[in-house]
Structure 1
């Protein structure tokens, strides 16, 4: 059966894994902070990600790395709206990575069709705003807040607690009028989890699929990958990022949120060839 993500009337085909390319319009993101802070450079980077194989562009104006400071609504809007407008006007499927209701609203007006929220629409006004926008939504699990989430992550039962949280947020979205086909879930790799807990999320992807929604995994260049590979610099974690996302895809994840679209696309071509070998000469 064909799986789709319904986003403001646009259907994104999730029958095979799709790539969500990261466009950070920030001076302080953990991997590429400042590199695409200038709007024009961010726009050019977005187009390059599309050429490299991304199907969705996730534009964010506030870093959610551990210890990141908060950004005002006005500053976040100044960062992301020009980038969203330019990419959406060119036909790109644009996601806005934000937790603020006003940023969600203006981003949708600028052409965004997806809201990707690390707070899973728990901030004031965000649930209603998302519902009114008609956007597709990604609801993520996070223990604590970005500033302190990695201080001392603790769970009695990691999988059950994350699963219950995601179900509760999906139910809240449905109750607010968001269509089931518009909802995607994210277990929150790196958001209030230890290294071992992050890899448990990856190993047990099927536990989250049983909720009945498509899954997004965002593990690109994260420190847990560096912890097991010995790569201290985020820019050195391209290979491990591709490997982690390929494992997620094999386990059923539909959307892979990455910095390195070209490398991810190449890996997925090999993966799809393995699955569809009967069609090859």
Structure 2
């Protein structure tokens, strides 16, 4: 029987890769900052992604790019709530990309399906907010914290450090709610407090990160780890980003978080056909 991932109102079989589409309702995200800052443009982009075959929509109201400013909860809610309200019945799960427990609470009260926390639910109160819900939970490993992650790199084996963190946080979550395990996804946090070499090393060792048999999510889309290798600008990393997502799936990723939904969906269909040996 295929392992399932409970994501709020939705349940996914993990017999195929899941595509999460990124919508940043921000003026300053590294790739699409300002593109979907207005409510109407964010909603339009979401519906385009749905038509392109997205499985989950991941909506963020605060940038985590290097040098970005932290914003207040009230400002983050101002950006997020109208988009959530407009898309809550769009037919695909809504994920909210936030590390603030009060934002998580508002989102859960609006019946969002997933919380994607770059801090891995380490902030005070986060575990208590999410545990009683039925939301999917993405636990990301960030070396350092929001203020210093881009200048703070793991001293020991980054895979071992990730496993230690994931094991600790999963045990914390299970203490809050023993039934939570089928709602948890693990994200190695590529680009968050790791060197370029460490990022690619983690992809090469993804299966070792599958703590407690949890599914794995990888987000590489348009990141500097891509640009450093191919020497291309953020707007010219489509092929390399899709390639890295595809290879991540081959190395064990169950969910890929991407900007370019249609291209990723098509590439994964080809991978599936090859694996199944389809003869037409």
**TM-score normalised to the size of structure 2?**
0.96
SS at match of 1:29: coil
Deviation (angstroms), 1:213: 0.5
Give the Å deviation of 1:125.
1.1
Answer yes or no: is 1:195 the counterpart of 2:210: no
What residue is the counterpart of 1:241 in the other structure?
A: 241
Counterparts of residues 67-146 of structure 1 (less than 5 Å):
67-146=67-146
Which residues of structure 2 form unaligned runs of 5+?
none
Partners of 2:159 and 2:90 in 1: CA distance: 40
Q: Report how far residue 133 of structure 1 moved.
A: 2.2
How many pairs does the alignment contain? 279
Deviation at 1:210, TM superposition (A): 5.1
* Helix, strand or coil at the partner of 1:133: coil
Displaced runs of 4 or more, over 3 A: none
Aligned to 2:186: 185
Aligned to 2:224: 223
- d(CA) in 2 for partners of 1:210 and 1:37? 36
What is aligned with 1:206?
207
Q: Is 1:257–2:229 an aligned residue pair?
A: no
**Secondary structure, aligned partner of 1:272:** helix
Deviation at 1:9, TM superposition (A): 4.6
**Structural RMSD (CA):** 1.3
Preserved CA contact (<8 Å) 1:225 1:241 = yes
Shift of 1:171: 1.3
Give the deviation of 1:255 after TM superposition.
0.6
* Structure 1 residue 8 displacement after superposition: 2.7
Q: Aligned residue for 2:27?
A: 27
Is 1:41 the equivalent of 2:41?
yes
